[in-house]
Structure 1
Amino acid sequence: MALRPRNPAARPRDRDARRPRRRPEPSWNLVRLGVVALAVASCVFAGVAAGQDPPATAPVPAAVPAAAGDVPRVTEVGPQIFYLQDDAGRLVPVPGFRYSDFVELFRMQEGLPGAVRPPAAVLESVTVRIDLGAIDAAACPVTVECTVRQTRAGWVHVPLDLAGLLLTAPARHDGPGRMLVDTLPDRAGYRAWFDAPLDAEGDVSHTLVLEGRVAAEIDDRSTAVALELPPSNTTVVEVRSPSDDPEVTVQPPPPRRVVVRPEEQGSVASITGVAGPVRIRLAERGSGVASWNAVPQAAVESVVRVDGRNAFIEATVSLENLGPDTSQVRVALPPRTTLRAVRGTATLLARGGSEANPHVDVGIDRNPDGSATIELECERPIDPSNGSAFEAIGFTVAQVAAWRQWGRVSLVVEGDWRAEWGDVPTLRRVDPPPAARRPGFIAAFAYDSQPASLPVRVQPRRSRVVIEPEYRYEVGATRIGLLARLRVAARGAPVTGVTLAIDPAWGVDDVGPPGLVDTTAVMVEGGRVTIPFLQALAGDAVLDVRASRTIDRAESRLAWTLPQPKADLVGPATVLISADSDIEILPDPLTGTGLMRQAAGGQARGDADRTAFVYRLDAGEGSFSGTRRFLSRRVDAVVAAQVEVESPEMTVAETIRLEVVHVPLEYVELSVPEAIASAGTLELRQEDLRLDPIELSEPGAGDGPRGAFRTVRAILAMPLLGTGELTVRYRLPTPPVGPQTTVAADLPLVLPLGARIDRQTVTIDPSETLAIDVRGDAWRRDSGRDDALRSWVAARREDMVPLALVSRPRVSTGGTVVEA
């Protein structure tokens, strides 16, 4: 098919009609799904393109000349294209994307169960033909015919099992497509692979024929074979025998009776409905041969549970192929083992042997198929102090050959003990049985024959302690404090305590928490702090060790070594070094060892002026070195005054916002003009607490550029470090203002002493009877505020506001702000 070039501008309506409309707010799930769908579709098309043979080149038809006046039409050639949004919201073409593909991807994304689909292939029937009349070299020929129905195209496989069958010829296949036969990857047996053509309609049927030989157990009166059959819808086993009327025994018994039909030379026994391991035995009828006269075998499943002082063994001995006259067996026990009980249908008949080689005689209840089960409970003492080993394997049956005895042993250790064993080449590690999947299980071993041995040593479980330390140092004027926080993780046996190595120059003040640490037994000796626990620790805990050392106030040099926890593993330590607000620390990285500077996290507002350094200590040893210097207090202030002028008095409310750094401020000193002090209306508050000011100077003792003032000191309700506010309120008489006259009045202000005033503002509330303005150039209107007509700001520190008062019948409402 010829491809015509697409003209994007030729049919915009058709192109837009094919493209899905974009939603205003697309779902991000659909966007992600679209990206996944695009990737899957790309992989699918790439795989198909790579796996197919190139098609034969089709002849291109000759171009037909267009008639005069005809406009060439642009047609779209498949595959059909859909558009999906990517993460950026752009439309991406997805060719050949089907609705079923979308549903499947949507189910994968949302974690929904997949759609119910039939199996890709079904084993419908298995027919096995065994010819006992052609036995050669203890093996007989076997033909297996399998019918398989394939429901989906592509490669599928079907397990055939058939353990015990040795193929002697290539497999034959009758059906469409290709076929392969290989071995099962995880166990003995075979599997078949089928590849149906893509153009096949409906289900495809395959017929597979395998030819091989299977081992035969032959004696003078019977012949037996064993084969593992796969589960199928219909299974038929036909055994051809030279005997005319053989006695056929099948283990396990089939659901239907075995049919024996005579033939010209012998007979054929038909067995239906069998699967899995199957044993078939043929003997002359009436010969007296038991249904199973194979070699007896024994399988031992034991669980050894160790609690540190004793080993308790639960063993189940499964016997098979026992003769009809077998009513009791002798079971040898592991050395120094004592039998405590016999469970199930078996009964204890006698005990015997020596301490090193004990045995018991057990009466059994033999089943018709020659099987029996013995359940034993045994016990033996162990001594973990001298490191001697005990034997975990040792159950043997005297009536069964050693090479026909196999089993599995599982080890379970309880409490604070551990089991050790060496490299035993005759054993292999296996998965435990369900009965051994319990707390304390450590290992399971299997053996294929006797004699087998597993020496196990029991020792106290070792403890493993991991400590992640964190050290917080607080540098003061005469003392350096340390808080060592140890995050302890104890694994294995519980630990009774931990040890911390510390410089003897540090004095240990406290160890906690009290509910975890035996504080009365804490020992500090020779630079080692021994921290015992109230109870042995198994798990996680956090310990706090507080220590301190003195330092001379005039000492500027700082140097100390970091503590060292003693543990199996010490994680990286976090070191935080901070100082009082009036102390600055200058680290010396050239003399310090083991510390790597880290980025400090955000600090609380009250700690903004505190020096803080964060380090990481990866090595076992570390030290800090640096210098310190003391900083003086700095106070910054912002003064905002709110003035209300009425007749007969003026009311002033000043808010003094203080910013104190380095050293806490315990009291504040104010400059109070004489006019305010003599009026007796001064009120001072910190937050909502009233302060009692004390005059430090006599009336009129201080003279400023604008008149006399007094110095007042007020003890703060709480020391101030950081940001705080003081509120000053007072009232002054308003000078009389005649009608249509202007009166000059100076409004004094209360200002803090010893502080740098960064900003000073005044806001004057409007009056109904007076028009108020500010005289002079010391104050200017604050044009940056909405109430600029009522607000003023001072260019420098001003202790008074010159006002001009004019009597008017009424003034417009509003306020005036003066800001400096």
Structure 2
Amino acid sequence: MMGLALGSLLVVGASVGWAQLPPPPTVADKAQAAPDAKPTTPPPMAPATSEPSAKSSTEPQSPPVARPVQEAPPPLYYLRDKSGNLVPVPGFRLEDFEQMVKRQYGPSAAEQAPRYALQAFQATGKAQADWVELQVRLNLVTREEGWIRVPLRLDQAVLRSGVQYEGSGEHFVQFDSGGDGYVFWVRGGTEREHHLTLDLMVPVVRLGAATRMKLVVPRAATSELKLVVPLADAVAKVTEGPILLPSTPEGKTATVLNLAGLGGEFELSWGKEADRPSETQPVLDVAGTIQWKVGSRSLDGEVRMQVRSFGAPFDAFQVRLPQGTELVPVKTAPYTLSVLKPAQPAAEERAVVEVRLPKKTVGPVEVQLAARLAWEAAGAAAWAEIASFEVPGAARQAGHVAIRADSQWRVLVGPLRGARQVDELPKALRTDDVAAAFEYYTQPCALPIRVVRRSPRISVEPEYLVLVDADQVRLEARLKYMIRAAEVAALDIDLPGWELDELGPENLVATDLVVDPSGLRSIPLAQRSIGPLELTLRAHRPIPPGSQTVAIELPRPRADSQASPVVVLLPADNVELTPDPQGMVGLVRQQVAPQMKLPVRQQDPFFYRAEPSKAKVVAHLRVHPQKVSVAVSTEIAVDEHRAEVRQKMAYQVAYKAVDRLSFEVPRSLASVEPLSVLFEGRTLRLVDAPDPNDEHDVSRPARKQVILPESRIGACELAIRYAVELPGLVPRSSVAASIPLVMPAEGELSGNRLWIAAPEGIRVRPRGGPWTEAAAPVSELRRGLHLTAAERVREIDVAVHLEDQSSAGSTVVNRAWIQTWLTHSLRQDRAVFCLTTSQKSLDLVLPVGVSPGEVELWLDGQPITGQPTPELRLIVSLSGAGGQREHRLEAAYRIPGPRPGWGRMSLELPRLARDVWVQRLYWQLILPGREHLLFAPPGLSEENRWVWQGPLCVREPLWEQSQLEAWAGARQLAEPPAETNRYLFSGIGSMNRCDVRTVDRTFLVFGASMAVLAAGLLLVYVPASRHPAGLLVAALAAAAAAVVYPSPTLLLAQASLLGVALALGAAWLHGALARQRRAAARETPSSILERGSSRSSRRAVAMASGPLPAARSEEAPVSTTDFRA
């Protein structure tokens, strides 16, 4: 343990030091440390001047010519160094700054090579009636390792088949709904070519006789599109961006449209010149949103259309409804809806609704229709068309369809034409119960669906608690259902032979069970439910009188899947239940208790796992009557005036709980103060109990009872306290006294014990009767008279004798030495008394736990035998004539059982009874080598000294055992081992008990070192803790502790040396790291700038007083590490 503690302290100190290591500098740190350049104007002492004239001063001077003001070369810029001082930098240019930044951070993003290059985009296709079949080939080159993301766009296209890839890399294609469309991911290395082929379908929109196709393509180095349209001499138009090349005929009925320079979004349209719509006719564009709600009998739809005209204004249009759909009248304003009647009604005719506006307009106009499709009209298993709300003659019709349905319905989709299923819907159609979403892009379209009701999937996990009583079997069941796919209105369960008592909870169950002719019970629910559901039920079945076997079948809930039920079989306290393994059906015994809350019973339950199909419990039954046993323990404390009686009655109730306890109280107690009754710490009232014989006999004890707070079974305890006055005691005489006792009125008496204790000078002896003296167990040793009786005894007769203290004699102990030796497992004491007495006998009081018969006595060097008393004393007879005599009494004994552990200990010492004057007392305490004394006992003086033993100080007693034996005149025995810790204390007077505190060496070193280490780390890393006031208070507290408790202070100081060393190491490591960081922070600028700073200042002064030298062509080197504005 000592090595473990030292290792833990070393690991803590090293981890604290390691945590202070500075992190490596990052690019961001370097950039932050670099100064910024900031040009400043030259100082006033260095103004700009013009060049001096080359002519002699004697020549006549021409009038001055006006010249522009020029800056005196070289220009000066001032940069801040790390100390914040301005340092001049001559000739610093913008190019120098850009070059420095490039060296520091590398080239800009614009100068970096792309991760991939799209070399070519080639598309060929053929137009069909409602879409364009398109084949796209892409060639690209990757320039980096790892996965590369290549957006392909093509948002409007639908991928018809898998992607064809040619190359040596890994790849996959995904669709990004966020805006990049199809995305090609590839990983193939640097400078690798990749070829990709996609087969697509692109929807087209018809606007009159013209056809339009909209597409978004990626930008490539070269791109082209060849599209074959089924129209001779077709005229094509393209939006801004691609280049439309001349078309070429493809046979007599088709034309090839050629485009180049594709990139981004574009729209291509084609048609005949003569087929363009006339501006005098309305050209309608219809955008619709259709929402269907699935009901139990019909489909309810809401249709919204936005209609506008690209040609002439309009004031009416028609809407052809899907087959079997009827219009639901709703309030419409400002337009009107009317259903047109066909001239010749037919079964397959679709209803036509005419929408008429109040005036002509080009729109857009929003029209709302309510429609209904009954299941009878479509047929129970027929397909229903829901999207073909067609506006005849409209140039373009497109929109979205949403189908709303709850979890009990399933939507089946048939073959689509002119529509497709999508994941995203417009915001107006988004709801939580959308079961399917579609987009249609032409009318008439085909979107057939069929709605079928889902079959519910029910799973159940049953838990059964079977309570077996004497006359019936009760069942408490908890059924945990999980309902999926569809809602249910009722749950079925089979209860063979059970009578239902309660079904719940009330908020889930509607009414009582419904029983069908087969006996199956149906539990109706308050509302149709889905998801998790938990039901509880209580049932019972009677047990025939005199039956010795019980056989029951467990409930069987009807479900699609059922977990193995958990079965707990719990008999009542008065029922002995023995399961019959041969008769059990479908039950497997379990050892692990399930997570269930069980009622408190005296018997252990039986745990089983049952088969879901059928399980049967069979057990043998035996009913026991109630059995009550009680053990009475009485303690009587006698003094000169009264006897204090404390009785404890320990009940053991078996088979059936009790709710009240009865007692027989002697009539003589009626005149004393009321009895105090405590039941497990609670005060109860003692009341009269009815006499079972209905007789009132004053010669018999009174019958009383207490009502318990709750019924109890098993072990319980009740305490009764009262006092009895005694006759007056006369010294040197005995008085007879009768002490009444309370006895239990019911139950079997399992024990009746009694202790009588009296102070010194009073002796108590029993006066016959059923009481017999007995030895108390070692665990219950106490001073006093120990008696037992085999029957209920309502009183005890005793003789109380009071001694005459005035004639008892006197005893003076001149020298007393007591040695207490504690080992890891026991305690051994040795006591020597050198005394002068006039008494004929001595009373040696022993500590509790010592058996008087095991004490070894020597009187004046001769072994003797003492007379034990019930009060744990030994009477030692003294020989010799009257008068004062000198004797030497030595006693030795050991206390069996484990000794108290280290920490706080209260040690009772042997002593002489009566009034004994002890003039000098030495107490020697011997502890194991790894256990140290922390605090000395109060009332004694420490007789120890501190001496050096190697590098540490240890305590040694002033006198060792041999010296104490010679001082007290005791027998010479072997010295204690040198590895033990020995302590010596002295005092005057008799000592009954010594309180000491000891500590284990491992705990002492570890605790003290950890405390010092924590304080040291606090001083190192928390500067506020190093405040002078705080340090002064800590120093004063340590000095006060050393003065008041010198020995514990020195002991703790030595134990904390390891913590001091670790704290000093942490402080040194912290200082070294701090110096390293300060040295790194003081990184100096370029030496050229430092040397040029003073010369630049002198040069500025020279330029102010004389001509400037010729400017040098070379550039001044600039430091790129310490650049700061």
Query: What TM-score, normalized by structure 1, do the two folds share?
Result: 0.59
The structural deviation recorded for 1:652 is 1.0
The structural deviation recorded for 1:210 is 11
Matches for 1:727-742 after TM superposition, within 5 Å? 727-741=719-733
Partner of 1:391: 385
1:418 to 382, 400, 409: 409
1:717 matched to 2:707? yes
Partner of 1:690: 686
Q: CA distance change for structure 1 residues 603 and 308 in 2, over 3 Å: closer, same or farther?
A: closer
- In the alignment, the residues of structure 1 paired with residue 509 and residue 313 of structure 2 have an alpha-carbon distance, to the nearest angstrom, of 66
The structural deviation recorded for 1:581 is 0.9
The structural deviation recorded for 1:558 is 0.5
Instruction: Provide the identity percentage.
Output: 22
1:597 matched to 2:589? yes
Partner of 1:443: 436
The structural deviation recorded for 1:228 is 3.0
User: Alignment partner of 1:725: what SS?
Assistant: strand
The root-mean-square deviation of aligned C-alpha atoms, in Å, is: 6.6
- In the alignment, the residues of structure 2 paired with residue 745 and residue 601 of structure 1 have an alpha-carbon distance, to the nearest angstrom, of 61
- In the alignment, the residues of structure 2 paired with residue 693 and residue 631 of structure 1 have an alpha-carbon distance, to the nearest angstrom, of 26
Report the residue type matching 1:306 in the other structure. V
- In the alignment, the residues of structure 2 paired with residue 356 and residue 795 of structure 1 have an alpha-carbon distance, to the nearest angstrom, of 111
Report the residue type matching 2:412 in the other structure. W
User: Alignment partner of 1:591: what SS?
Assistant: coil
Q: CA distance change for structure 1 residues 747 and 808 in 2, over 3 Å: closer, same or farther?
A: farther
1:476 matched to 2:469? yes
The structural deviation recorded for 1:590 is 1.9
Contact 1:641/1:654 (8 A) holds in 2: yes
Report the residue type matching 1:619 in the other structure. P
Deviations 1:128-186 (CA, angstroms, capped at 9, x unpaired): 99999xxxxx99999999999x8x8755333244799x9xxxxxxxxxxx997977444
Contact 1:583/1:611 (8 A) holds in 2: no
Report the residue type matching 1:228 in the other structure. V
- In the alignment, the residues of structure 2 paired with residue 693 and residue 798 of structure 1 have an alpha-carbon distance, to the nearest angstrom, of 19
Report the residue type matching 1:557 in the other structure. T
Bigger drift between 477-486 and 308-317 goes to 308-317
User: Alignment partner of 2:492: what SS?
Assistant: strand
Contact 1:161/1:190 (8 A) holds in 2: yes
Contact 1:698/1:710 (8 A) holds in 2: no
Contact 1:352/1:360 (8 A) holds in 2: no
The structural deviation recorded for 1:376 is 6.0
Deviations 1:291-322 (CA, angstroms, capped at 9, x unpaired): 9xxx99998764333333443445578999x9
Partner of 1:5: none
1:549 matched to 2:555? no
Contact 1:760/1:793 (8 A) holds in 2: yes
1:625 to 604, 618, 627: 618
Contact 1:342/1:374 (8 A) holds in 2: no
Report the residue type matching 1:311 in the other structure. L
1:654 to 636, 647, 663: 647
1:565 matched to 2:557? yes
Contact 1:126/1:147 (8 A) holds in 2: yes
Q: Could you list the runs of 5+ residues in structure 1 that have no partner in the other structure?
A: 1-20, 28-81, 85-96, 104-116, 133-137, 167-177, 198-204, 241-246, 261-268, 365-369, 702-708
Contact 2:115/2:148 (8 A) holds in 1: no
User: Alignment partner of 1:387: what SS?
Assistant: coil
Contact 1:665/1:720 (8 A) holds in 2: yes
Q: CA distance change for structure 1 residues 145 and 740 in 2, over 3 Å: closer, same or farther?
A: same
Q: CA distance change for structure 1 residues 227 and 640 in 2, over 3 Å: closer, same or farther?
A: same
The structural deviation recorded for 1:554 is 1.5
Matches for 1:500-649 after TM superposition, within 5 Å? 500-503=493-496, 505-519=497-511, 527-537=519-529, 541-598=533-590, 599-600=592-593, 607-610=600-603, 612-649=605-642
Deviations 1:745-774 (CA, angstroms, capped at 9, x unpaired): 67564444643536846363x548745688
Matches for 1:203-282 after TM superposition, within 5 Å? 228-230=216-218, 250-251=238-239, 276-279=264-267
Higher strand proportion (structure 1 or 2): 1
Deviations 1:568-597 (CA, angstroms, capped at 9, x unpaired): 444443323222211111111221112233
User: Alignment partner of 1:628: what SS?
Assistant: strand
User: Alignment partner of 1:780: what SS?
Assistant: coil
Q: Could you list the runs of 5+ residues in structure 2 that have no partner in the other structure?
A: 1-9, 30-107, 125-131, 160-166, 205-209, 227-234, 245-257, 809-842, 850-869, 872-1125
Report the residue type matching 2:731 in the other structure. P
Q: Whose Rg is larger? A: 2
- Bigger relative contact order, structure 1 or 2 (CA pairs below 8 A, ≥6 apart): 2
- In the alignment, the residues of structure 2 paired with residue 358 and residue 603 of structure 1 have an alpha-carbon distance, to the nearest angstrom, of 64
Higher helix proportion (structure 1 or 2): 2
- In the alignment, the residues of structure 2 paired with residue 213 and residue 142 of structure 1 have an alpha-carbon distance, to the nearest angstrom, of 7
- In the alignment, the residues of structure 2 paired with residue 587 and residue 349 of structure 1 have an alpha-carbon distance, to the nearest angstrom, of 80
Contact 1:410/1:432 (8 A) holds in 2: no
- In the alignment, the residues of structure 2 paired with residue 521 and residue 423 of structure 1 have an alpha-carbon distance, to the nearest angstrom, of 43
Q: CA distance change for structure 1 residues 561 and 363 in 2, over 3 Å: closer, same or farther?
A: same
Partner of 1:497: 490
Contact 2:627/2:654 (8 A) holds in 1: yes
Matches for 1:61-76 after TM superposition, within 5 Å? none
- In the alignment, the residues of structure 1 paired with residue 659 and residue 336 of structure 2 have an alpha-carbon distance, to the nearest angstrom, of 94
What is the count of residue pairs matched by the alignment?
A: 645
2:773 to 772, 778, 801: 778
The structural deviation recorded for 1:248 is 10
Partner of 2:148: 156
Report the residue type matching 1:725 in the other structure. E
Contact 2:649/2:717 (8 A) holds in 1: yes
1:304 to 275, 280, 292: 292
Deviations 1:728-750 (CA, angstroms, capped at 9, x unpaired): 34544435433245667675644
Contact 1:595/1:623 (8 A) holds in 2: yes
- In the alignment, the residues of structure 2 paired with residue 538 and residue 209 of structure 1 have an alpha-carbon distance, to the nearest angstrom, of 52
Contact 1:146/1:207 (8 A) holds in 2: yes
Report the residue type matching 1:418 in the other structure. W
Deviations 1:239-272 (CA, angstroms, capped at 9, x unpaired): 99xxxxxx99654x67xxx999xxxxxxxx9999
Bigger drift between 179-188 and 606-615 goes to 179-188
Contact 1:507/1:548 (8 A) holds in 2: yes
User: Alignment partner of 2:775: what SS?
Assistant: strand
- In the alignment, the residues of structure 1 paired with residue 486 and residue 397 of structure 2 have an alpha-carbon distance, to the nearest angstrom, of 38
User: Alignment partner of 2:375: what SS?
Assistant: coil
- In the alignment, the residues of structure 1 paired with residue 581 and residue 113 of structure 2 have an alpha-carbon distance, to the nearest angstrom, of 73
The structural deviation recorded for 1:418 is 2.3
Bigger drift between 353-362 and 640-649 goes to 353-362
Q: CA distance change for structure 1 residues 145 and 118 in 2, over 3 Å: closer, same or farther?
A: same
Query: What TM-score, normalized by structure 2, do the two folds share?
Result: 0.45
Partner of 2:68: none
The structural deviation recorded for 1:660 is 1.0
